């Protein structure tokens, strides 16, 4: 496939891997004293495991898996609230497929559907608008979640519904933004991060400058990266080169897709429909200032929080995790998934305790799906 297979070329990878090894040696990175590079996005975590990149790179590179998996960081009470909305007899709840199996406090959307709620998987929020148009006697609610990658399409769906004068469409907004949790991680004294591989699809919308503070205020490099294995390896090399040179900059490896200043049309739609919440809860990370979006009052008629009287109350205490779960420690990169006492025991993809095991982009699911070969293989 054009534009895909070129970026999966094993021969080209060898060249990049050698360059990575030279840079890592130059820095003096070793297995015992590694360079910590956080890939923020779950899509990158998935690709790293799918292609076994973590084992192909120099010993002195350690990938820390970041919080960039939208369903993984969704707090359980928001899942509960979503189910509460779905229980209204008039409601058709629409959602991306990923969210179906995410456990709430007691149950998931999948289970709620089996109990009789009308819950349907859609591929785009615009499909939900169309569903509302075809079902005028029902209330169609879209479970809006995700980072800046999905926020524009939800914004467009609200604008479309407003233009069409629909009164039976609304969005339960859980959209979040990428830069604030990175700041929170950098402020955490326990974290040792030397550089970042940044999410390419997010920057396709927001550009690369919202990350400027990382280089300016914290002196860390960040390279916005594509999702093919060669993209990721090249980005790792660019981070290492910066460290070698004593530079800290925001660079763009994914220039074939990411414009420096983002996508103006998408940004305008986001700005028209949403405003920043004072704070929003992240599963495993707690409340983070200015990290979530809510629907502006001019679009209140399309805001499911308003329509169903749910609102958003800042959590006083971070919600307790399921017993024995270490999602928070995994999400902040403090431990690797197999170090969680529940990994593969109480928590499997069939019976997930935490969302990290559910989403295909969750670090635990990635380890489970792709990483077990190395856990179980005979010692070489």
Partner 1 sequence: MRGLLAIWPGAHHGTRRLSPLRGDRVTLAHGGGGRAMRDLIEQIFTSVFVPHGTEDQARLMDAALQAPGARLAFTTDSFVVTPVEFPGGDIGKLAVCGTINDLVVGGAKPLWLSAAFIIEEGCAFALLHRIAASMAREAALAGVSIVTGDTKVVGRGQADQVFVTTSGLGVIPPGRDIGAARIKVGDVVIVNGVLGDHGAAILAARGDLALSSEITSDCQSLGDLMEAVFNAAPGLHAARDATRGGLASTLNEMAEAAGITVQIEESLLPLRDEVKGMCEILGLDPLYLANEGTLVLFVPEDQADLALVAMKSTPAGRQATRIGRAVAARGVPVILRTTFGGERVVDMLVGDQLPRIC
7, 41, 3: which is closest to 203 by C-alpha? 41
Dist CA 267 CA 323 (whole Å): 40
Helix (H, G, I), strand (E, B) or coil at 14: helix
Cβ 368 vs Cβ 357: under 8 Å: yes
The stretch near partner 1 (CB under 8 A) out of 277-285, 293-301, 305-313, 362-370 is 362-370
Which residue's CB is nearer to partner 1, number 153 or number 279? 153
Distance CA 98, CA 73 (A): 13
Q: Is 160 in the site for partner 1 (CB under 8 A)?
A: no
Please give the Cα distance from 85 to 308 (Å, whole number).
Answer: 7
- Smallest distance from the beta carbon of 337 to partner 1, in angstroms? 14
What's the CA gap between 348 and 230, in Å, rounded?
Answer: 30
Tell me the HSE value of 310 on the side-chain side, using a 13 A CA sphere.
22
| Options 229, 262, 284, 292; binder of partner 1; rule CB under 8 A | 229
- By CB under 8 A, residue 143 contacts partner 1: no
Nearer to partner 1, 12 or 301 (CB): 12
Is residue 140 within the footprint of partner 1 (CB under 8 A)? no
DSSP letter string, 251-272 = EES-TTT--TT--HHHHHHHHH
The nearer residue to partner 1, 10 or 219, going by C-beta atoms, is 10
Size of the site for partner 1 (CB under 8 A): 49
248 binds partner 1 (CB under 8 A): no
Q: What x-and-dash track marks residues 20-49 binding partner 1 by CB under 8 A? A: -----------------------x-----x
Which of positions 51-90 make contact with partner 1 (CB under 8 A)? 51-53, 55-56, 70-71
Q: Given the rule CB under 8 A, which of 139-147, 167-175, 217-225, 259-267 is the region that contacts partner 1? A: 139-147
Contact status: 144 vs partner 1 (CB under 8 A)? no
Regarding 343 and contact with partner 1 (CB under 8 A), the answer is no
Which ranges in the chain belong to alpha helices (H)?
Answer: 10-27, 42-50, 53-56, 76-86, 109-114, 125-134, 151-163, 179-187, 200-206, 212-218, 229-245, 264-273, 304-307, 327-331, 363-366, 372-376
Nearer residue to partner 1 within complex by CB, 6 or 212: 6
Residue of 65, 64, 59, 61 whose CA lies nearest to 237: 61
Which three-class secondary structure state does DSSP give residue 275? Answer: strand
Q: Nearer to partner 1 by C-beta: 99 or 353?
A: 99
Pick 320 or 380: Cβ nearer partner 1: 380
Does residue 362 belong to the site contacting partner 1 (CB under 8 A)? no
CB of 65 or CB of 220, closer to partner 1:
65
Q: Select 123 or 309, whichever has its Cβ closest to partner 1.
A: 123
Closest among 217, 95, 89 to 150, alpha carbons compared? 95
Distance CA 238, CA 133 (A): 49
Among 101, 175, 220, 294, binds partner 1 (CB under 8 A): 101
By the criterion CB under 8 A, which residues form the site for partner 1?
1, 4, 8, 10, 13, 43, 49-53, 55-56, 70-71, 96-101, 110, 121-123, 127, 145-147, 149-150, 201, 229, 349-350, 359-361, 368-378
């Amino acid at each position: 496939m054009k534009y895909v297979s070129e970026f999966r070329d094993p021969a080209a990878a060898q060249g990049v891997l050698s360059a990575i090894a030279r840079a890592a040696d130059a820095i003096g990175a070793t297995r015992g004293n590694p360079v910590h590079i956080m890939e923020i996005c779950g899509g990158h975590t998935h690709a790293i495991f799918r292609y076994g990149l973590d084992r192909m790179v120099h010993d002195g590179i350690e990938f820390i898996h970041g919080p960039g998996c939208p369903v993984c960081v969704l707090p359980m009470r928001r899942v509960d609230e979503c189910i509460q909305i779905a229980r209204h007899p008039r409601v058709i709840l629409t959602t991306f497929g990923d969210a179906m199996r995410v456990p709430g406090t007691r149950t998931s959307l999948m289970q709620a559907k089996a109990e009789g709620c009308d819950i349907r998987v859609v591929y785009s929020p615009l499909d939900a608008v169309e569903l509302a148009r075809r079902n005028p006697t029902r209330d169609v609610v879209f479970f809006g979640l995700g980072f800046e990658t999905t926020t524009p399409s939800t914004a467009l769906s609200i604008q479309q519904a407003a233009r069409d004068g629909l009164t039976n469409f609304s969005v339960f907004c859980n959209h979040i933004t990428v830069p604030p949790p990175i700041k929170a991680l950098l402020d955490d004294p326990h974290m040792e991060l030397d550089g970042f591989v940044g999410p390419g699809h997010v920057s396709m919308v927001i550009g690369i400058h919202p990350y400027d503070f990382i280089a300016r205020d914290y002196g860390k490099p960040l390279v916005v990266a594509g999702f093919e294995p060669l993209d990721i390896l090249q980005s790792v090399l660019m981070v290492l080169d910066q460290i070698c040179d004593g530079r800290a900059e925001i660079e763009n490896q994914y220039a074939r897709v990411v414009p420096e200043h983002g996508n103006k049309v998408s940004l305008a739609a986001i700005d028209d429909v949403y405003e920043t919440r004072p704070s929003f809860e992240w599963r495993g990370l707690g409340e983070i200032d200015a990290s979530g979006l809510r629907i502006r009052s001019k679009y209140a008629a399309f805001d499911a929080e308003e329509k169903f009287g749910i609102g958003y109350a800042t959590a006083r205490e971070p919600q307790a995790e399921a017993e024995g779960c270490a999602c928070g420690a995994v999400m902040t990169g403090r431990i690797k998934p197999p170090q969680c006492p529940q990994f593969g025991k109480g928590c499997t993809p069939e019976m997930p305790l935490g969302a990290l095991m559910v989403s295909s982009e969750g670090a635990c699911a990635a380890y489970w799906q792709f990483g077990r070969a190395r856990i179980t293989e005979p010692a070489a």
